[in-house]
Structure 1
Amino acid sequence: MEDKFNPRDISKALAERLHPTVMMWNRLEGRPRTHDFDRAMKAEVRDALWMLTRQWQMGEFTSDDAGSPVFAKVHISNSQLDLYKAANRKEEPYEDNVPLEVKAEQKKILFSREGKELSIDIRLQMGRYWLKLLKSRSLDLAAAYIRQYTFVLPDPARNTDHIHAHREVWQQYAAISGRSMDGYKFLQYIEIIGNQASDDITSDAGQIGVLAELAENFRLWFKKLYYQPEEDENNAWLPDRLEYQFESSALSAADIKTLTAKEYYDGHLDWYAFDIDQKEGLATEKPKDTVTETFIPAHVQFDGMPDTRWWKFEDGKTNLGAVRPSTTDLSKLLLMEFGLIYANDWFIFPQTLPVGVLTNIEGLTVRNNFGETIWVKAAEQESVAAEPWSMFKLSSQTQNNTLFLAPAAMKVQEGEPLEKIMLIRDEMSNMVWGIETAVPLPIGVADKGGEAALRVRQYHENIVKASTSAAQVPFTARISYQAMTDVPENWIPFIPVHVKNDNRQTQLQRASMLRIIEGDPHEPVKVKPRTSILREGLDHLGTDLTTPAPLAFFIHEEEVPRAGVSVSQSFQRTRWVNGEVFVWQGMKKNTGKGEGSSNLAFDQIRAVEKS
């Protein structure tokens, strides 16, 4: 059979048309209906108002004799931060491997107060870790360390109300007493010069060397686990202002720039928290790092901006035309004017700022499409106003072109507040009350301040009732005299006093209420705050570092407005750019909820209720 459908010579088969086929051709280009393109080129618009609106939106009705920028060059200098100073403390080298807010907010963890053990949860954590280190070296010494550094449940007494007045605290103490190791007590012992981790534990020479090595690892582990100052006086918290204050300086041969955060309290550190002060530099200091870059300017782009194509609608997710500002909303009016009228007149150039470095724009030149080169100055240098407006620039008494990308944590995990207080004004009593709304318990958790204060008072009342056997004589008079009404023990008074050597200016001084219990054979004691925020100065020690020498605590009156303030303290955690994790205690201040009344009254005559 002839293979007629498989030709040997395809060219010959096509030329002689040996195999008849059905062929069809399709054109891929557009086929015009007419050869006259005049009407198509006119771009006729049936709605003339639409075209006029789009021309107005694109700014075609306004123009000036200016060209478009096509080339630019910028000269930038960088100054590395060198020094750090917390409040009125001494200067120290700046640590670029630590977030600046961690450095500023750090506070020493409180492990004891008035001889009472606190932070039991961290003490247990430290003890478990030491026993884990012993197990890693196969040292069977856990029982010996638990006996040597153990927890002891004290007997019920007036001075142990911090344990026996709270059921959950007593339960935990009872559970760990004699069974768990107090790791902080062990750390205190080995940090004393001359003490060894093996003292009173073992006399084996081989084990002594291993324990010394483990003790050093234990110290480094705890120092890395919680970021805290060596001394609590080195933090940047100002108790009389209820805010942080610190500064960092960059030294160079050209100038000395100092960044000052005078009122930092909101928990998130950024460039707007700083003011800058610039002075002449020293010839012996290091020079600045400079860089010159060229770039092509690009138009500013944002959601909702007018599209450059006439036949394309803008994204409806951001509708600037739907903004309805009032006559006093200048910020909204400026935003709409920028977005709808002058949006295509703004150009940007990308510049990556190094973290924790002061970047100064020394000069910027732009060349337009007409070949003109223009030296661009900052807006505040061109302005004739007394207080020129600028953006993303640090506040200063003089003009500056310095930008600062704060070395702050991008995201911070914050725990539940361990302490929280409210400062409110009580106009009826003519004083300020510091209300402890959350107080720390010794086991490391917070409790409601009102409930904790009530339990402590009931604990003392029960002790007084148990020790008082004499029957009370009932009142026979119809009325009784009450010298003073009761106030919850979590309400700490602050009374106005004159500033020293000033007859007009006043400030708020911490005072105390008395704990008066009917039938108590002992003299009434002063109720002291339980939060470290309000205990400022109470735990101060004398020159011998053993004798208590309490100091008065003052708060500037302007720091407690009519709305009041709220201050809290909690553990916080973040991860830095190098992957290192930081855990620290930080404070935060917020606006309060207004005035209040304690119902405190003096010298009252009350009717006696008949039983």
Structure 2
Amino acid sequence: MASITSWTRLEPRARTGDLRPSLEAQVHDPAWMLARQWQLGEFLGDDAGTPVWVRVRGHADRITRYRPGPATGPGTDYDGHTPLQAMAEAEPSGLRATSADLRSGAETGQHLLRLLRSCAAPAQAVTEAVALLLDDFPLGLTGAEGTDDPATARYLTVLRGKVPDGHALASALHTTPPTPGEPGWGLPAEAFPALRDWLAWYDERHLTAAQGQEAWDPRRLEHCFSVGLRETGAQSTLTAPAYQGGELDWTDFTAGGDTGLAATVNRETLLSTTFPVPVRFPGMPARRYWEFEDAHTHLGGIEAAPSDLARMLVAEFATVYGNDWYLVPLEVPVGSLTTLTSVVVGDTFSSELGGPTLLPTPGAGNGDAHWSLHRLSTDDGGRRTGLFVPPVTVSALESDPIEEVLLARDEGANQAWAIERSVPTPVGGTLDRSRTAPILQPTPSMPGSTATYRLMTDIPAHWLPLLPVESRPGSHVLRLGRLDGPDGRPLQPLGRLLNPTVPGAYDLYAEEVPREGITLTRAHRYARTADGRGLLWTARQARPGRGESSSALRFDHLEE
């Protein structure tokens, strides 16, 4: 019968006051434990040895050729010093949109004047040559664009006629390299070393691609390029078919055969004998018997549905097989495809089993031995054994976007729009087009009526239509259309993202603009190379948009 005034409590009572024997977990019958191990077959295991040393042999084939775009051809030589992501993202040299970059052109021109005036040439000859340079390469805009910008007008008022356009001069020198007598401008022989030094400084100041050698595909909104390497008697090509920009890794590449890159042999033999260390990860069971485990990672609390096979495999690896994995470090050169030829393991049972163990080549065995990580996909859907470490920057500083374009769907108008949100100004600033773009207002009215008839409703001038065009039967592209401005002339995009490098219509594959839209940006990036050089380039990147947009476009509309 239960009572509220009495209860029963169980309390442990030690036979002695010393807790040390209990904490030691002593085994009082070792023979019994050995018998149980024999019954369970633990003594028959042939993989119970602990690895003591590992010898790894292999070779690393460096990439020696680079080719932008999806086209075929020999490409150009690649020395491995310039990061691949910078070469792929760099814009073509001399690329001009409707407005030029006056500030950088003036800064490079000023630096040339400083070099010429400090050289050993006669001062009078340098002065006359500078006057000719100012006449041949004047600082200014290519047309009438930007002249209504007060900041641009003030900038040109101060510097016009005082400094040459460095961009135009560098473009001319790239076409005709500076040699004594060519080009002219009356420069004496003592001034040509300064001119060559300035051109080298200009090329290193801002990384650009050669004309027609850019990797950006404006129809796919991604970069495409290939690198080539030569293995023993065979050419191999690694292609990045859809690099979105930002961070480049081995997962962006696919492996292929000989595509005419004509790479040269640059192989480094690898041989390393090291001591393996057990793999450690958060939540791993403690190795010591009485060690308290970290509770930050609770592997036992993982929730998984019947279809979450990968999650259950990770949990099983962590709780059951976590102590069976060892880490063997191997340093490989950057910018190479590393292939292992042999892995030899010496364990604690090597002397009893007849010596070290030669492991199967990764990815070449059957069953579990066929498994390997970091394998490249091939063009035919297979897998290529080898570890590719692309030469990229660890981190790069990125400026605020100097240009931004939003590609969005408009279900109400049943079309897509290219919205220029911001564009660069000629003096190096950024112009917010949503605040400065005029509103197109076609307002024909009917005489004697209070209602106003509009052929179409008001559309901001920075909203450019993307019209569907059937490029071939069953295939459609989005072609950039034009709207007429208040003066009757068609409005043109002010930035570079919507201006194709090849003159003609700007076409975009329709599937590249999903319902969530696409945000295109241009920004400056700066990074340090492996040899400590500073590298600056202008990169384009495509990011997810913000959903659908509404232009409120209506046709045959009456307003009271």
- What letter corresponds to residue 208 of structure 1 in structure 2? P
Among candidates 231, 252, 262, match of residue 273 of structure 1:
252
Preserved CA contact (<8 Å) 2:68 2:224: yes
Per the alignment, do residues 535 and 185 of structure 1 end up closer, same or farther by CA in structure 2, a change over 3 Å counting? closer
- What letter corresponds to residue 149 of structure 1 in structure 2? L
Per the alignment, do residues 377 and 420 of structure 1 end up closer, same or farther by CA in structure 2, a change over 3 Å counting? same
- Counterparts of 2:498 and 2:246 in 1: how far apart (Å)? 19
Among candidates 533, 546, 550, match of residue 593 of structure 1:
546
In structure 2, the partner of 1:4 is: none
Preserved CA contact (<8 Å) 1:72 1:365: yes
In structure 1, the partner of 2:13 is: none
Among candidates 460, 472, 476, match of residue 448 of structure 2:
476
- Per-residue Cα deviation, 1:100-140 (whole angstroms, up to 9, x for no partner): 111111112556446x6x10111111122022213423747
- Residue 168 (1) aligns with residue 151 (2): yes
Among candidates 288, 291, 297, match of residue 319 of structure 1:
297
- Residue 131 (1) aligns with residue 113 (2): yes
Among candidates 535, 539, 542, match of residue 499 of structure 2:
535
Alignment of structure 1 residues 147-546 onto 2, 5 Å? 149=134, 160-164=144-148, 166-187=149-170, 193=176, 208-231=188-211, 233-278=212-257, 286=265, 289-316=268-295, 318-321=296-299, 324-327=302-305, 330-371=309-350, 372=353, 373=357, 375-378=359-362, 381-383=365-367, 390-396=372-378, 397-454=381-438, 476-500=448-472, 502=473, 504-515=474-485, 517=486, 520=487, 524-536=488-500, 540=502
- What letter corresponds to residue 107 of structure 1 in structure 2? E
- Counterparts of 2:24 and 2:81 in 1: how far apart (Å)? 64
Preserved CA contact (<8 Å) 2:272 2:330: no
- Per-residue Cα deviation, 1:278-328 (whole angstroms, up to 9, x for no partner): 579999974854434333332112344222112222345x42448643426
Pick which of 79-88 and 67-76 moved more. Answer: 67-76
- Per-residue Cα deviation, 1:344-381 (whole angstroms, up to 9, x for no partner): 11112110111001001223233443334353353684
- Unmatched segments (≥5 aa) in structure 1: 1-35, 47-60, 462-471, 541-549
- Per-residue Cα deviation, 1:490-525 (whole angstroms, up to 9, x for no partner): 11111111122x2x221211111121x3xx5xxx21
Per the alignment, do residues 288 and 184 of structure 1 end up closer, same or farther by CA in structure 2, a change over 3 Å counting? closer
TM-score, L = length of structure 1: 0.74
Preserved CA contact (<8 Å) 2:406 2:517: yes
Among candidates 54, 62, 87, match of residue 80 of structure 1:
62
Preserved CA contact (<8 Å) 1:378 1:401: yes
Preserved CA contact (<8 Å) 1:73 1:365: yes
Preserved CA contact (<8 Å) 1:569 1:588: yes
- What letter corresponds to residue 554 of structure 1 in structure 2? D
- What letter corresponds to residue 494 of structure 2 in structure 1? R
CA apart distance, 1:247: 1.0
Preserved CA contact (<8 Å) 1:418 1:440: yes
Preserved CA contact (<8 Å) 1:358 1:404: yes
3-state DSSP of counterpart to 1:76:
strand
Give the aligned length.
510
TM-score, L = length of structure 2: 0.80
Preserved CA contact (<8 Å) 1:259 1:274: yes
Task: Give the CA RMSD over aligned residues.
Answer: 3.8
Preserved CA contact (<8 Å) 1:247 1:258: yes
- Per-residue Cα deviation, 1:59-117 (whole angstroms, up to 9, x for no partner): xx997823123343333122121221111343222231211111111112556446x6x
Per the alignment, do residues 323 and 509 of structure 1 end up closer, same or farther by CA in structure 2, a change over 3 Å counting? farther
In structure 2, the partner of 1:569 is: 522
In structure 2, the partner of 1:31 is: none
- Unmatched segments (≥5 aa) in structure 2: 1-15, 27-39
- Counterparts of 2:258 and 2:179 in 1: how far apart (Å)? 51
3-state DSSP of counterpart to 1:433:
strand
In structure 1, the partner of 2:48 is: 67
Which has the larger Rg?
1
Preserved CA contact (<8 Å) 1:433 1:493: yes
- Counterparts of 1:239 and 1:283 in 2: how far apart (Å)? 28
- Counterparts of 2:184 and 2:490 in 1: how far apart (Å)? 43
- Counterparts of 2:385 and 2:417 in 1: how far apart (Å)? 45
- What letter corresponds to residue 479 of structure 2 in structure 1? Q
In structure 1, the partner of 2:11 is: none
